[in-house]
Structure 1
Amino acid sequence: MSNQLQSIFKTVPVNLSAVRIHLCSSTQFTSRVWFCGGRFEDRLEMEGNSVPLSDGCVEVVVCDPQLLDKKISAIRTAGPAKLQVIADFDATLTRYWVNGRRGTSSHGLLRQGNPEYDNKRRDLYYHYHPLEFSPTIPIEEKTKLMEEWWGKTHALLIEGGLTYDAIKQSVADSIIAFREGVAELFELLEEKDIPILIFSAGLADIIEEVLRQKLHRSFKNVKIVSNRMVFDENGHLIAFKGKTIHSLNKNEHALEMAAPLHDQLGNVDGPTYDSASVKTRTNVLLLGDHLGDLGMSDGLNYETRISVGFLNDNIENSLMNYRDAFDIVYLNDAPMSGVVKLVSQLWSSDSV
């Protein structure tokens, strides 16, 4: 492991008893490096399988440390002016578990104030959600099913008389929280004028309300790429704007849906980022919790991309696929602290 990667992982600022890092070959895990108590312990253990975590540990899987090291160096050389961050929202920026309970998604937290329609949307979830993750359904068929699901759900929201007041109350009552370190990450990127594009198959208006209520501030560099609602003068939902974004088509082709967060939260001094300027930033840090999230950068002809995956659940069955797909994989609903440290390594001390 290079000194650069040691620097990233050995000082991850988490209040945990140990940080466990797996470096793996293409077929199996070949070594385990422990970083305990925030200090690097030069100790390797050969093993054929991942060891289950005890309580109080963060586990990180890096499949190709040499490739990751090269990507970090390339992004550092290009400088922050060429970098952008693309992030999924639910279970990526937000926590998978909240106080021992499964955290709600930005779509799932919504209560219309009309139990009949809440139940109808719940029934759609139970029908379509297993299909979304089915390994046997071809992608073309699955895409049509997702379009069908989102279309029916949006129609129910309009028909059921959703109001913006109901959105605000739903967020206030919800079990949703950001990962530890998200606000620090946003602040660090804002200081360097690096845009953050939050891609979500949920609802932009709800995501903005979650940011407003949970982070209590705006960020001039944050844009939301998600489904946008249109409300009348009385705050009633009357339509959705533009093309539907679902879990299988959220990518930079949907940038026309993006709007800066501060449009809703008041004016903020400083630059904003339109689609054209974002496309000139050809180095990408991508954050996601789903293999499909890797497609969020499909619309960008990027030069270098570092992909970070959060594998929150079903680890035994999914780890092999995640570690082969992502450059870095954080397990068990890890904090964002490691990503904050990674980002701090993506520009040299004299970068502008």
Structure 2
Amino acid sequence: MKPWKGRGAVSGATSARFHLPAREADGDWLDAAEAIDGPARHPLTTVTEEHPRSILSFNQSPDVPFDRSVNAYRGCEHGCIYCFARPTHAYHDLSPGLDFETRLFAKPAAAALLRATLAKPGYKPAPIAMGTNTDPYQPIEARYRITRAVLELCLETGHPVTITTKSDRVLRDLDLIEALARRNLVHVGISITSLDARLSQTLEPRAASPAKRMEALGRLAAAGVPVHVSVAPVIPSITDSFMEAIMAEAAGRGVRAASWIVIRLPHEVAPLFREWLDTHFPERAGKVMATIRSIRGGRDNDPDFFSRMKPQGVWADLFRRRFRVAAARLGMTGPQVALDCTQFRRPSVDGQLSLL
């Protein structure tokens, strides 16, 4: 199957979990389709504005380090083929494949909705995670500036926030992030999968290049912002060889914390990833999937709490040992996210801060 330039998914893979119909091209005319109809149109990006009733999502997952998050967007134009958030598009009868990275949703009232939630008398502050489902600094943030509006509100109210991204666009908000950092209200994580620009362009076609992400890490560290490099996801026989080099370059730029996560393939991500492997790395596709299954207890994915974040087996042990040795050599620790919740001041819905 021929991949689309600038897109991660090879196809608009459908979902059998909900109501998204499966379509399969068939018929003798297929051989002559391009000659008759012309080349297939390149999938274009569209953005629909969404107006939800609330924006702060709470979770009770026992193995993630946050209990609330804000996702300003649905779908992500970065198009990372491994993205574990792809299946969320199926809830809307859209494809976790090409639809996820081309049919995007923006929530322009996110900051106003968050203000209303923070103003409630019973609200108790804890760090808000941004970038847990789709990237808060994907390209359309330049137009909508929703992430910036949320950070402005966090600075205004003294509310702690964490940011996870794979874009150097985070530097556009460096003024706000620096101000939050001076008050111990922010932590930033930037994920880097490899140091090979061509490989990254294939894996995550519209994300910032590894060099730009490294530069962003260095500038954040130099500005005194608590920041860590996330070697994620580690993909056996595709990106795992870059682990030590990513950590070393980040340490050389002043980054003192690091983490790693092995690839996860929930729901529709598994067939999408296999399709991507068969297209771009057919000679090693079988080895990659066999290694992933050995890490996940013989399955493409382990969905169970705790074990899903703790890969098992000899390959997982090898990656874990390599990370620990590199971290010790470079003087890097795990991400320390102990943000200050005592500065929070409840806003009123008209924009004034409460004295309580």
Note whether the superposition's TM-score is higher than 0.5.
Answer: no
- TM-score after normalising by structure 2: 0.28
Q: Pick 1 or 2: higher relative contact order, CA cutoff 8 A, min separation 6.
A: 1
- TM-score after normalising by structure 1: 0.28
